[in-house]
Amino acid sequence: MFQTEDKYLSLRNLTVCYGALEAVKDVSFEVPAGKIVSLLGANGSGKSTILKAISGLKKPAGGEIWFQGSRIDGEPTHAIMRKGIVHVPEGRGLFPYMTVFENLQMGAFSRKSAKKQEIERDLEEIYEHFPILKERRSSQAKTLSGGEAEMLALARGLMAKPKLLLLDEPLQGLSPVLIEEVANIITMLNQRGITILMVEHNISMSFELSQWVYILETGELALQGKPQELSQTDYVQQYYLGVT
Ligand X SMILES: Nc1ncnc2c1ncn2[C@@H]1O[C@H](COP(=O)(O)OP(=O)(O)OP(=O)(O)O)[C@@H](O)[C@H]1O
Which of 43, 117, 138, 228 binds ligand X (CB under 6 A)? It is 43
Q: Is 139 exposed, middle or buried (0-12, 13-18, 19+ CB in 10 A)?
A: middle
Which of 9, 31, 37, 41 binds ligand X (CB under 6 A)? It is 41
54 to 83, contacts with ligand X by CB under 6 A?
Answer: none
Indicate which of ligand X, Mg ion, none lies near residue 228 (CB less than 5 to 8 Å, by partner kind): none
41 or 157: whose CB is closer to ligand X? 41
Q: How far is the CB of 15 from Mg ion (least distance, A)?
A: 18
Alpha-helical regions (H) of 96-231? 100-107, 116-129, 131-135, 146-158, 176-191, 203-209, 227-230
Cα(118)–Cα(121) distance, integer angstroms: 5
82 to 121, contacts with ligand X by CB under 6 A?
Answer: 90
76 to 115, contacts with Mg ion by CB under 5 A?
Answer: 90
Reduced to 3 states (helix: H, G, I; strand: E, B; else coil), residue 204 is helix
Reduced to 3 states (helix: H, G, I; strand: E, B; else coil), residue 133 is helix
Q: How far is the CB of 115 from Mg ion (least distance, A)?
A: 37
Q: How far is the CB of 90 from Mg ion (least distance, A)?
A: 5
Reduced to 3 states (helix: H, G, I; strand: E, B; else coil), residue 215 is strand
Q: How far is the CB of 58 from ligand X (least distance, A)?
A: 8
- Residue 197 and residue 51 in contact, taking contact as beta carbons nearer than 8 Å: yes
- Residue 12 and residue 63 in contact, taking contact as beta carbons nearer than 8 Å: yes
Rounded to 10 degrees, the C-alpha dihedral 108/112/118/119 comes to: 20
48 or 110: whose CB is closer to Mg ion? 48
22 to 81, contacts with Mg ion by CB under 5 A?
Answer: 48
Cα(206)–Cα(212) distance, integer angstroms: 9
Give the residue closest to Mg ion by C-beta. 48
Round to the nearest angstrom and report the end-to-end CA distance of the chain. 30
How many residues contact ligand X, by CB under 6 A? 12
Which of 9, 10, 31, 46 binds ligand X (CB under 6 A)? It is 46
**Which residues lie below 8 Å from residue 233, measured CB to CB, with a gap of 6+?**
223, 225
13 to 32, contacts with ligand X by CB under 6 A?
Answer: 18, 21, 23
90 or 220: whose CB is closer to Mg ion? 90
Which of 38, 48, 195, 210 binds ligand X (CB under 6 A)? It is 48
Q: Does 10 bind Mg ion (CB under 5 A)?
A: no
Cα(140)–Cα(42) distance, integer angstroms: 33
Indicate which of Mg ion, ligand X, none lies near residue 85 (CB less than 5 to 8 Å, by partner kind): none
> Which residues form the interface with ligand X (CB under 6 A)?
18, 21, 23, 41, 43-49, 90
> Which residues form the interface with Mg ion (CB under 5 A)?
48, 90
